[in-house]
Copies of this chain bind each other. A is one copy, B any other.
Amino acid sequence: MLTKNTIKHINSLRIKKCRDIHEQFIIEGDKLVDEFLHSTWGITDVYATKKWIDTLSPVLREKTNQLSEIKKDELKKISSLKSPHNVLAIIKKSSFTLDYDELSNGLSLVLDDVQDPGNLGTIVRVAAWFGIRNIICSPDTVDVYNPKVIQASMGAMLQVKVFYCDLVNFLKEFARFKLPVYGTFPDGKSVYDLPLSPAGLILMGNEAQGLSEKYFPYITEKLFIPSYPGEKKGIDSLNVSVATAIICSEFRRRKP
């Protein structure tokens, strides 16, 4: 049985400010909750139907010390999905520290002000697929703990660390490694032809504005995804998550 206060608290976590204050966020869905239960993240509360609880192994049941059995109707009151699954969990936010040594040994993504939750979630999923472990975001990028981001990332955030910081300071600091910093520009070189480094940064810009000019001085390589057959005829860009995926795929294709 859910109290009014519990319902109020859970629903408040849809708002970034409340997630920040409580250092909590919501995940939903049988598969996603299962993946978090198998991870090292802290599970604060689990609200589930009898059906879900019955399938829980004793080991995992021990991990979910705050397990509440609720009815499907009650789940609807706290879910942000049209068709709620069988379980919703509250997770404690993790805080990571930027590990510059790790960054200097691989590829990382840098996002300037990506606004759409679906895009960020998809980018996290792309990063996980292509073995990119770090995403550094400008402070105005949509919150990775937004329920729509989590839904779109499909558990990929268990494998990718997402940071928010001032990107100019970050890029200044990163410059000491003398590694390539890639950005996409209409006058860039074809991503299919340019030599691509196995370590460095890939900068992706806002959906409408692209990359902010203040980052231009830190970009060492200008990229472009060629359209086909070369004329654009009105389509002036690709969706940012799609462009990120194509570029990451090109970097990974070159690796043995």
Number of identical protomers: 2
A231 to chain B: closest residue by CB:
B131
Q: Confirm or deny: A176 has a beta carbon within 8 angstroms of a beta carbon on chain B.
A: no
How many angstroms from the CA of A50 to the CA of B52 in the assembled complex?
Answer: 56
| 11 A-B residue pairings within 8 Å (CB atoms) | A125-B238, A128-B233, A128-B234, A130-B228, A159-B235, A228-B252, A229-B255, A239-B241, A242-B242, A246-B246, A249-B249
The segment from A14-22, A74-82, A150-158, A209-217 found at the interface with B is A150-158
Q: Confirm or deny: A118 has a beta carbon within 8 angstroms of a beta carbon on chain B.
A: yes
Interface string of A79-104 (1 = CB under 8 A from B): 00000000000000000000000000
Interface string of A205-249 (1 = CB under 8 A from B): 000000000000000000001111100111101110110011001
**CB–CB B159/A125 < 8 A:** no
**CB–CB B246/A228 < 8 A:** no
**CB–CB B234/A159 < 8 A:** yes
